[in-house]
């Protein structure tokens, strides 16, 4: 069957599951498209229904998320226990995709600057806004990719190049994406994380390896930056996207689905059931953490 439209569905978990580390809070998007924060007892704390791209702060006290306001997008920071929120004061009608720094002092996000996309940093209180890699090629956008959790520096990519940036926005290093991962391999939504000298990223599958899905899926790879070579770390036949490296660096949470989660939908569409899944980087074991969830992040 040729798929002319991809329609995403996520099913609500039958019961809340405890996040993979004690005393942690996890944020994700549930079956109704609502951002939910779940504490270590399994209690669910639903947030506003107009939010997406949830990112929980390392201390578990705050949530940064994209808010859809008509045709505009903005990023809000919410205090989870009180519900108080602020909108980050950025002069753009399109701001999305927040990611907290490992120390919780910065938020990286994507900003449309009138002609193209820029990656940027801002404090959670809305101060000290600056663009990352401001000298990137202007014929291509630059997107927030993730963080080096060892150095605390943000990662930026434009599909061709990967930069590690200093906090002041200037480049600390520059690498060829094709040289690291092969080509074609990533999208503007790919997430990249570095711990020590290992890079983790969701890379596109070159072949259609999930029956019923017409088009590429993703898998997660590890790359030794001292001896580059791509090593697949999620199973064949499993889509693995939106990865989040935990603070301890021993687990990756991701949005996953397999063959059984791909169903024919109306009008030649495909219905996908995503799940929040975890990958143990020591053993390679993959588990379902939240059936029917996606876009996970977790506090320390």
pLDDT in tens, 251-278: 999 999 998 888 887 776 678 889 999 9
Burial of 226 (0-12, 13-18, 19+ CB in 10 A): exposed
Looking at residue 213, its pLDDT comes to 81
Residue of 186, 185, 179, 237 lying closest to 212 (CA atoms): 237
* Contact indicator for 165, 172 with CB cutoff of 8 Å: yes
Phi-psi label, residue 42: left if phi above 0, alpha if psi -120 to 50, beta otherwise: left
CA atoms of 293 and 261, how far apart (whole Å): 13
Domain ranges of the chain: 5-298
CB atoms within 10 A of CB 241: 23
199 pLDDT higher than 70: yes
pLDDT in tens, 17-48: 444 555 689 999 987 888 999 987 777 777 77
Looking at residue 8, its pLDDT comes to 30
Looking at residue 33, its pLDDT comes to 87
Looking at residue 110, its pLDDT comes to 97
* Cβ-based neighbours of 81, under 8 Å, separated by 6 or more: 61
* Contact indicator for 147, 108 with CB cutoff of 8 Å: yes
| Position with higher pLDDT, 210 vs 283 | 283
CA atoms of 101 and 193, how far apart (whole Å): 11
- Domain 5-298 class? mainly beta
250 pLDDT higher than 90: yes
pLDDT in tens, 71-114: 999 999 999 988 899 999 999 999 999 999 999 999 999 999 88
């Amino acid at each position: 069957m040729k798929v002319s439209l991809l329609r995403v569905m996520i099913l609500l978990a039958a019961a809340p599951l405890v996040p993979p580390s004690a005393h942690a809070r996890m944020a994700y998007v549930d079956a109704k498209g609502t951002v939910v924060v779940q504490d270590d007892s399994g209690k669910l704390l639903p947030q506003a229904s107009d939010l997406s791209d949830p990112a929980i702060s390392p201390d578990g006290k705050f949530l940064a998320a994209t808010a859809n306001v008509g045709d505009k997008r903005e990023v809000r920071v919410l205090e989870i226990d009180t519900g108080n929120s602020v909108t980050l004061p950025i002069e753009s009608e399109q701001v999305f995709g927040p990611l907290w720094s490992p120390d919780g002092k910065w938020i990286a996000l994507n900003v449309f600057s009138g002609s193209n996309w820029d990656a940027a940093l801002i404090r959670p209180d809305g101060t000290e806004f600056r663009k990352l890699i401001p000298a990137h090629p202007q014929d291509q956008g630059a997107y927030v990719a993730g963080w080096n959790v060892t150095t605390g520096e943000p990662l930026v990519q434009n599909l061709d190049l990967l930069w590690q940036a200093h906090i002041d926005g200037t480049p600390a290093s520059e690498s060829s994406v094709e040289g690291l991962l092969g080509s074609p391999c990533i999208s503007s939504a790919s997430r990249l994380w570095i711990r020590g000298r290992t890079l983790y990223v969701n890379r596109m599958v070159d072949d259609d390896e999930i029956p019923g899905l017409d088009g590429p899926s993703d898998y997660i790879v590890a790359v030794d930056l001292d001896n580059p070579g791509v090593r697949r770390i999620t199973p064949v036949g499993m889509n693995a996207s939106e990865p989040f490296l935990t603070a301890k660096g021993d687990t990756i949470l991701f949005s996953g689905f397999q063959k059984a989660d791909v169903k024919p939908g109306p009008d030649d569409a495909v219905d996908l059931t995503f799940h929040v899944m975890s990958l143990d980087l020591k053993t390679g074991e993959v588990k379902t953490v939240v059936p029917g969830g996606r876009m996970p992040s977790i506090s320390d």
